[in-house]
């Protein structure tokens, strides 16, 4: 799965690299669709850069939950509020991971390239999805960092 994600990211990155010169070396102006695509890809790149950290946080939180479950009953009860918070954090981390994977599976780089109006509409909807995904990733990692008191 990680190889597929890496290959998809690499392909998207290569395709999104936009040299703003034509074949004669002249500068070309960006269209509104190009600008939107840049915003979408920038959001993706921010999220993707954090995926390794997100996976490490998922593993660490899962390990802590497992450790709490192995404690004697009295200690487990005492750690119950912490476990509830860890469970909530794991849900947030898993949701952020899900959003990234879902977006990458569904994103179509060449959607409506021959229809500017539809392309702009599509990229605006993708911008919203990427913004949500990026916020979920960054927010869950911030929560993990503050809870775990160390860099993951």
Domain boundary assignment for the chain = 2-15+36-148
pLDDT at 110: 86
10-16 CB contacts, 8 Å cutoff, 24+ apart: 12/41, 12/44, 12/104, 12/107, 12/109, 13/41, 13/45, 15/109, 16/41, 16/109
pLDDT at 29: 72
Residue 103 in contact with residue 41, Cβ under 8 Å? no
Residue 57 in contact with residue 148, Cβ under 8 Å? yes
The residue with tokens 């599976």 is 105
Bridge partners of 27, per DSSP, are: 21
pLDDT at 46: 96
Distances 100 to 41, 44, 58, 88, 114 between C-alpha atoms, Å: 12, 8, 14, 19, 27
Q: What is the 3-state secondary structure (H, E, C) of the chain?
A: CHHHHHHHHHHHHHHHCCCCECCCCCECCCCHHHHHHHHHHHHHHHHHHCHHHHHHHHHHHHHHHHHHHCCCHHHHHHCHHHHHHHHHHHHHHHHHHHHHHHHHHHCCCCCCCCCHHHHHHHHHHHHHHHHHHHHHHHHHHHHHHHHHCCCC
pTM: 0.77
pLDDT at 22: 47
Q: Which parts of the chain have pLDDT scores under 50?
A: 5-8, 13, 19-26, 151
pLDDT at 111: 83
């Amino acid at each position: 799965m990680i190889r597929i994600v890496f290959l998809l990211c690499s392909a998207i990155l290569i395709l999104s690299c936009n040299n703003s010169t034509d074949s004669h070396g002249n500068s070309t102006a960006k269209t509104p669709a190009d600008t939107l695509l840049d915003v979408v890809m920038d959001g993706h790149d921010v999220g993707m850069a954090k995926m390794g950290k997100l996976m490490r946080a998922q593993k660490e939180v899962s390990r802590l939950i497992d450790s709490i479950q192995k404690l004697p009953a009295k200690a487990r009860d005492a750690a119950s509020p912490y476990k509830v918070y860890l469970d909530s954090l794991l849900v947030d981390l898993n949701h952020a991971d899900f959003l990234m994977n879902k977006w990458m599976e569904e994103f179509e780089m060449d959607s409506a390239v021959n229809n500017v109006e539809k392309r702009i509409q599509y990229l605006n909807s993708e911008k919203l999805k990427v913004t949500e995904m990026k916020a979920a990733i960054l927010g869950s990692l911030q929560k993990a960092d503050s809870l775990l008191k160390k860099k993951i």
